[in-house]
Amino acid sequence: MGAPFVYLPEQFKIVAATAGSVTTDGGVTLDNVSLKNVKQAWIMLTYLQAATHATVLTPKLGTAVAAAATAITFSADWWKNADISASDDFTKQTAATTMAATAGVTNQIVLVKIDPAQVAAQGAYDVLGGTIATSGEATNFVTGHFLLEMKYEAATPPSAIVD
C-alpha cells in the first residue's frame, strides 16, 4: 500500500492549463508548467463537444515556462472516458505521443500521464505544455488542468508557472 493521500493541495500542484472553458475551433495552446519539483505530471482535459470531432492533444516540451514547442517523442500513458454522462469509467488507451478525444457528440475526459524522467531523457527539457488541434467547430469546448504530484509535500508547494 502506498503512502496515505491526505491533502490534495499539499501533495499536488493544480494549475489551469486553459483560461477556463475555451473553444477548440482554431486550436488551443495550453499554458506551460515547470516540472522541476514534480514527481509525476498529468494533463486532464474535459471536452464538451456539441459537434462530432476527434480533437487531438499533442503534449509539448520546453526549457522555459514562456514556451513549450517541442512535441514529445516518447509514448505517454493515457486514459479516456468517452462519455462522462453515461459512465465514470476510464479506459486505458495505447501509449502514444498524441491523444485524441472520441469523435462524437459527447462530453469526455482525456487524462495523460507525463513522467518528468522521460521528459528530461528527451533533451534538456523541464517544462510541459501542449497544443490541441482545431476541431473546426465553434460549439466544441475544452477545459484543461495540470495535476502535478510534487516531490515534497508542503502547505504551499513551489510555483509551477515560473522557472
d(CA 116, CA 101): 24
Question: For the segment 109-153, what is each residue's pLDDT rounded down to a tens digit?
Answer: 999 999 999 999 999 999 999 999 999 999 999 999 999 999 988
Model confidence at 157, pLDDT cuts 50, 70, 90, reads: confident
Structurally, how many domains does the chain consist of?
A: 1
d(CA 79, CA 22): 22
Range of the domain at 72: 12-150
For residue 1, is pLDDT > 60? no
Long-range contacts of 3-10 (CB under 8 A, 24+ apart): 7/153, 9/157, 10/153, 10/154, 10/155, 10/157
27 assigned to some structural domain: yes
Taking Cα atoms as reference points, which of 25, 28, 31 lies closest to residue 13?
Answer: 31
Q: Is the pTM of this model over 0.85?
A: yes
CATH number at residue 78: 2.60.120.380
For residue 2, is pLDDT > 90? no
98 assigned to some structural domain: yes
Model confidence at 24, pLDDT cuts 50, 70, 90, reads: very high
52 assigned to some structural domain: yes
